[in-house]
Chain A
Amino acid sequence: MKSRQGITNLQVTAIVSLSILGIAVLFIPSSASEAAGIDGVLATLFGGIVVLVLTFTAILLSCQYPNHTIIEYSQIVFGRLLGKLYGFYIVLYAIATTATVLRGFADAMKVLLLPKTPLEVIMITMMLTVAYQVQGGISTIARINELFLPPIIGLILGLLLLNVRDVEMFRYRALLSNGFGPILMSLAGISTGYLGFEIVTFLTPFVADKRKLLKYGMAGTGITIIIYTLLVFIELGIYGDKTIADMVYPTVHLARRILWVESFIERFDIFFLTFWILAAFTTITSYMYMAALSVVRIIGLRNYKPFVFILSPVVYMIAIIPQNSVQFTVLLKIISYAGLAIGFSTVPMLIISKIKKARINND
């Protein structure tokens, strides 16, 4: 009906920020604290800024080839062979990440909410829902992300507000006592918590108004930076770095310690978790969409919807590989660095594509 075809810019913001806000939000304070102690707050902030820059380059790069996803324009930038290899790398990364996030989500569910339900059941029900969503197409994904953005952000902000008065500022006196060293060393690790922004490389062909894409895409990452930094700030302020580093799910503890809402909801953490399921769901759908779309585009076909059902069992197989939480952490580390590599690769790709365009213009 309306002349616009494709997803709106607000939807892009929603997709980007909700792809980042997935399972990492549960344990980012503890990884920040493990890596840099009380300076974890600054590490989170700077890690976010690094990712913001990467989002910037990724969007600029994608706007150079407005009708192609990264699979296609990587072949233009790197040449056919290298580009195809890079495309395969992305395919593997997307499938593996979907499996990892799925597994991380199911593990968290088992510990925090449903201890007696078998892991397989949690994963299969989530997979079916994700498959249903992805085969509805990017427009459905965009609309659901847009629908879920206000409640999720509202809930996290509410959680932070309820806890802010218990922050003990004296813990921050020691900020930067060891200089910037620890922060810089931990930047790479912390940045992996912001993974999810690479979805922008797949979105450009479907966006209706590409001119404002840069602003709105970066806004998506920006929202997450604010949320993560505030979260880590409050957590470290209340618990101190040693205790946080010891926790597996620090954010849930933050929810659990809210005591004065007791007359109505006794266990705010369960309430929080039900909303968090929405955040995890959106992350998994983003990666699943990436996986299906990249597989299809590598092969050269148009319709990715049947591939969703082919890929689901593959994802499930990978998700059950880790036998315990230690192995899972290893898997998480691997794909995190793999994803960060993709993010960093947008910088040279941007430079190369600009050079190539300049050359074409000169000829």
Chain B
Amino acid sequence: MTRKVILTIIIAGITLLLVSCWGQIEIEDQAFIVGIALDKSDESGKLEVTFQIAHPKAFMAESQVDEPFWNITQVSEDITTARNELIKKINWIPTFEHCQILLISEDVAKDRFEKYLDFLIRTFEVRKKLQIAIVQGKAKEILDLKFKSGIIPSFVISEILNKNTKYSFEVTDYSHIGRIHIALIEGHDFILCRIIPLKDELSISGGAVIKDFMLAGWLSGEEVMGARFLRGDVESGFLEVKLPPELGEDVILRIYESESELKPEIRGDKLYAVLNIRLEGDINEITAPSSGLNSDEYIKKASVVIEKNLENIIKRTFKKVQQEFASDPFRIKEKTQSYYPHFYQANQGHWDEIYRSAELEISTEIMIRRIGEIKNRKD
């Protein structure tokens, strides 16, 4: 019995001594890439890949670092090759495990860019929280910006993208790798965030319509809102509406609950997209409150106007995307596949025509619950 134990211990000991530690990389030997930017390079067929590496001391309480991050640019065919070349240049091992954002400039997005995204879903290294955005300009410049509210641009941008979708309708929330994965396989279109570099700052507003993994066009902030309602991905935000003077001119509503559902309907041979919207909110600001503000009548009248306003925005967006871009980021195709599988299978060949001639029907319901703490500002 004791012999068995001794033998086991000896064998285990020898085995341990013979082996070396394989996958072990000390954490201080790793370079954490927190942001990637893709720009078109002058050399044909190649990209300028910029990696943003965070300096470890950037987040420590006491230390003050001059350069909390640095950006390294490589010219190569794709991101993985760029990383491999980076290994030859620095003494740390770069890893994507904490990568926060991937910025793609519009030049790169104009051609099919899905090949650059393959490694993001094929390996386990990258987190699903990685955000992707299209930059209307040079993506590298975004990574060079200095923010007052944060030390490292990648973090700031990813936090904006994360949090702002809850507060604004004008930013799309379709930016995580997880969602784009589905698009990659199923081949449907989607809308990514648009970042506009300005002098010394940036603006995240509007979106980029991606069809077949190519940039089809831009949407303004308002149009993104319309698109979100169409897709059914709305949460909360602020709604600004122009009302006729007797109803108070400009009104900003704070919407805290919203639901929208798009269902396809086939009547005869034509495809109808039926959209039902329901919103709940309070009045946040009125330019010229009228005397009848605190009345049922006012709310009814205002609601009608606001609903009409919203529907117009949505109709405009739909038309633009449907006709100009000929793209379907609202998943009408998927929904038709599910709701009317036989119809879809029969008409698969000329689906594009059917989609182009689809009509949108909207019914909106807005409930203005409260008007705020004051009624009128004047008599």
Q: Which residues of A contact B (CB under 8 A)?
A: 38, 111-112, 114-118, 121, 170-174, 177-178, 239-240, 242-243, 246, 252-253, 256-257, 259, 262, 266-267, 269
Contact = CB atoms under 8 A, between A and B. Distances in A.
Nearest to B339: A173
A52 B176 CA distance: 40
B334 A240 contact: yes
Nearest to A246: B185
B19 to A, nearest CB: 7
A115 B125 CA distance: 10
A147 to B, nearest CB: 23
B23 A174 contact: no
Nearest to A256: B128
Interface in B169-224: 176, 178, 181-182, 185-186
B341 A118 contact: no
A174 B338 contact: yes
B124 A269 contact: yes
B182 A266 contact: no
Contacts of A174: 337-339, 341
B124 A112 contact: yes
Given A243-B181, A257-B178, A259-B129, A170 B124 contact: no
Given A116-B23, A243-B186, A257-B178, A262 B338 contact: no
B55 interface: no
B23 A262 contact: no
Given A116-B23, A170-B338, A267 B186 contact: no
A361 to B, nearest CB: 50
A246 to B, nearest CB: 5
Contact of B341 (A112, A177, A246, A253): A177
Interface string B1-44: 00000000000000000010011000000000000000000000
B177 to A, nearest CB: 9
Given A239-B182, A243-B181, A243-B186, A171 B128 contact: no
Given A117-B22, A240-B182, 18 more contacts: A112-B124, A121-B19, A121-B22, A170-B339, A174-B339, A177-B341, A240-B186, A242-B185, A243-B185, A243-B186, A252-B124, A253-B128, A253-B178, A253-B181, A256-B124, A256-B128, A259-B128, A262-B129
Given A114-B23, A256-B128, A269-B124, A243 B182 contact: yes
B127 interface: yes
B95 to A, nearest CB: 12
Nearest to B342: A177
A179 B335 CA distance: 19
Nearest to A268: B128
Nearest to A113: B124
A112 B186 CA distance: 24
B127 A172 contact: no
A162 to B, nearest CB: 13
Given A242-B186, A262-B129, A115 B23 contact: yes
A171 B22 contact: no
Nearest to B176: A259
Contacts of A112: 124
A239 B185 CA distance: 10
Instruction: Give the 5 A-B CB pairs with smallest separation, nearest first.
Output: A116-B23, A177-B341, A173-B338, A243-B185, A174-B338
Contact of B338 (A111, A115, A171, A239): A171
A312 to B, nearest CB: 13
B51 to A, nearest CB: 20
Contacts of A121: 19, 22
Contacts of A252: 124
Chain B CB within 10 Å, residue with most, of A112, A170, A257:
A170
Chain A CB within 10 Å, residue with most, of B22, B124, B339:
B124
A242 B185 CA distance: 7
A132 to B, nearest CB: 9
Contacts of B22: 114, 116-118, 121
B256 to A, nearest CB: 19
17 contacts: A111-B124, A112-B124, A114-B22, A117-B22, A118-B22, A173-B339, A174-B338, A174-B339, A243-B181, A243-B185, A252-B124, A253-B181, A256-B127, A257-B178, A259-B128, A259-B129, A267-B127
B335 A170 contact: yes
B338 A172 contact: yes
Contacts of A178: 341
A206 B23 CA distance: 43
Contacts of A239: 182
A239 B124 CA distance: 18
B335 A257 contact: no
A176 to B, nearest CB: 10
A269 B335 CA distance: 30
Contacts of B182: 239-240, 243
A175 to B, nearest CB: 9
A115 B23 CA distance: 7
B8 to A, nearest CB: 9
Given A173-B339, A174-B337, A257-B178, A117 B129 contact: no
Contacts of A257: 128, 178
B37 to A, nearest CB: 23
A252 B185 CA distance: 17
A118 B23 CA distance: 9
B7 to A, nearest CB: 12
A195 to B, nearest CB: 27
Contacts of B23: 114-117
Nearest to B182: A243
Contacts of A117: 22-23
A170 B333 CA distance: 12
Contacts of B128: 253, 256-257, 259
